[in-house]
Amino acid sequence: MKTVFVMIKCELGRTYDVAAHLADTVPEVRSVYSTSGNYDLLAQFQLSSEQEIGRFITKTVQTAPGVKDTYTIIGLNAFTEEKLDVGPDDI
Q: What CATH code is carried by the domain that includes residue 56?
A: 3.30.70.920
Residue 45 lies in a domain: yes
Residue 90 has pLDDT above 60, yes or no: no
Quick one: pLDDT band at residue 89, thresholds 50, 70, 90? low
Residue 37 lies in a domain: yes
Residue 26 has pLDDT above 60, yes or no: yes
Domain ranges, residue 8: 2-77
Quote helix, strand, coil % in the chain, to nearest 5: 25, 35, 40
Residue 89 lies in a domain: no
Residue 33 lies in a domain: yes
C-alpha distances in Å from residue 62, one per residue of 25, 34, 76? 14, 17, 22
Residue 73 lies in a domain: yes
Number of folded domains that form the chain:
1
pLDDT tens, residue by residue, 37-71: 999 999 999 999 999 999 999 999 999 999 999 99
pTM: 0.84
- Calpha distance 91→24 (Å, rounded): 42
Residue 91 lies in a domain: no
Q: What is the DSSP code (8-state) at residue 42?
A: E
